[in-house]
């Protein structure tokens, strides 16, 4: 069974990597382009 949970600060790098991969593969599903998003750095909010 799959578990759903809220992402936390420790998940930021993995989420960014997954988002960029999906953005590159399926750009029509996003409101931005890979070239723009890949320039953003991961911000740590604590």
pLDDT at 38: 74
pLDDT at 12: 86
Q: Using the predicted structure, report yes or no on whether residue 6 has a pLDDT greater than 90.
A: yes
pLDDT at 32: 80
Please, are residues 33 and 27 in contact by the beta-carbon 8 Å criterion? yes
> What percent helix, strand, coil does the chain show, rounded to 5?
50, 0, 50
Q: Using the predicted structure, report yes or no on whether residue 2 has a pLDDT greater than 60.
A: yes
Please, are residues 22 and 13 in contact by the beta-carbon 8 Å criterion? no
The pTM (predicted TM-score) of the whole model is 0.65
Both tokens assigned to 7: 């992402």
pLDDT digits (tens, 9 = 90+) for 8-46: 989 988 988 898 899 889 989 888 877 777 777 665 545
């Amino acid at each position: 069974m799959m578990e759903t949970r809220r992402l936390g600060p420790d998940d930021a790098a993995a989420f960014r990597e997954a988002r960029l991969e999906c953005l590159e593969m399926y750009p029509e599903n996003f409101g931005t382009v890979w070239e723009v998003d890949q320039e953003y750095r991961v911000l740590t909010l604590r």
